[in-house]
A = this chain, B = another copy of it.
Amino acid sequence: MSMDHRSGCPINLSLEVFGDRWSLIILRDMIFGGRRHFRELLNGSMEGIASNILADRLKRLMELGMLTKADDPSHKQKAIYSLTEMAITLVPILAHLGAWGRVWLPVSEELSIRAELLEKGGPPLWDKFMDELRHDHLGMPLDTPADATVRATLQAAYEAVVASKALAASPAA
């Protein structure tokens, strides 16, 4: 363990983990976007992260114990990244962060629909979602063998907004 911390304050230490412009964006895309591969994260994030920064942050997040890396059996040089429990427990923080941003910042509708659903669902929905993440990333059995996943609900809501936007943009089609 490196001891070069600015202070032992919980908030300061948390900021030292993801108090930069990219770490939490990467985790957001893995948690809510389902991205598991380098290229998915590189091309999938709307913010356009550079490949060297992505590589650096993935390495850093692994060293911090937030991610693990494994070989993808289907592709010899493909790596698959997984969230650890440490990262999965960020879900409530991301939900709060999204809710705060929706109130105070100029968010776009299609990108805030997930935050809205998470806010409305509250802690019970977060717990269910975290359970799904534990299943997908840690191989744990689902507590409740849900017929409809939170993940799918979030994804469907996002696509519905995008579709309605496209329809409104070209009504003559």
Contact = CB atoms under 8 A, between A and B. Distances in A.
Q: What secondary structure prevails in chain A residues at the interface with B? A: helix
Interface in A85-111: 86, 89-90, 92-94, 96-108, 111
A97 B47 contact: no
Interface in A51-100: 65, 86, 89-90, 92-94, 96-100
Contacts of A12: 25, 28, 46-47
Contacts of A101: 9-11, 13-14
A144 interface: no
A86 B115 CA distance: 18
A111 B24 CA distance: 24
Interface in A101-154: 101-108, 111-112, 115
A100 B89 contact: yes
B25 A105 contact: no
